[in-house]
Structure 1
Amino acid sequence: MNQERLMTVLVAPIVSEKATMVAEKNEQVAFRVLQDATKDEIKAAVELLFKVKVESVQVLNQKGKQKRFGRFNGRRRNVRKAYVSLMPGQEINFAEAI
């Protein structure tokens, strides 16, 4: 796989209450990823950037909500999320990764 592509696959880690509970319970980490990213690309990108072993990747597409902005109807953008399961004993520390 192309190194430049792998560097852009992960958009941002998801830091929320749900993502924190999932991380503690199932040893998974949540990321926002590109819309056209595949599971193999996500796995390779996490292993390359964070130097950890990935067990599996689960991907979901979240549709953007319809919202009103003043008097105009609008739509939030669609989001693709990846829940990455790490091998036992592996851990991602975002403070050291930067």
Structure 2
Amino acid sequence: MDAYEVLIKPVVTEKSTSLLQYNKYTFVVHPKATKTDIKRAVEAIFKVKVAKVNTMRVRGKLKRVRRALGRTPEVKKAIVTLQPGYKIEVFEGL
């Protein structure tokens, strides 16, 4: 799997922004990506060293759309911890 297929988009929420002070970055990743795939993709794209990768599957929530019930999509998220001294420049404006 290509590195750009593994990482889909960064997660920019209040909680993920507060994790930046601990050198942790959150991404939405491909559902079949493993922790090793995610580590290699982050290191290849951003030229940093990864210390740890934690993953989670977020189930879709039920939402009401007028009279019908809908569901938000299920996603897989990864919280990537970088080794001390490294940072990703894209997130610096947050």
Task: Give TM-score, length-normalised by structure 2.
Answer: 0.92
Structure 2 partner of 1:83: 79
Partner Cα separation in structure 1 for residue 51 and residue 91 of structure 2: 22
SS of residue matched to 2:48: coil
Partner Cα separation in structure 2 for residue 67 and residue 7 of structure 1: 31
1:11 to 8, 12, 25: 8
Gapped runs of 5+ residues in structure 2? Answer: none
Q: Deviations over 1:6-29 (max 9, x none)?
A: 2210000111110011111x2100
Matches within 5 A, 1:1-98: 2=1, 5-24=2-21, 26-94=22-90
Gapped runs of 5+ residues in structure 1? Answer: none
Deviating above 3 A after TM superposition, structure 1's stretches of 4 or more consecutive aligned residues are none
Q: Deviations over 1:34-90 (max 9, x none)?
A: 111100000000000000000010001110101111111111100111000000010
Partner Cα separation in structure 1 for residue 26 and residue 20 of structure 2: 8
C-alpha RMSD over aligned residues: 1.4
CA spacing shift, 1:94–1:22, aligned 2, 3 Å: same
The percent of aligned pairs where both chains have the same amino acid is: 42
Partner Cα separation in structure 1 for residue 83 and residue 65 of structure 2: 44
Task: Give TM-score, length-normalised by structure 1.
Answer: 0.89
Partner Cα separation in structure 2 for residue 64 and residue 70 of structure 1: 18
Partner Cα separation in structure 2 for residue 58 and residue 42 of structure 1: 10
Q: What is the number of residues matched between the two proteins?
A: 92
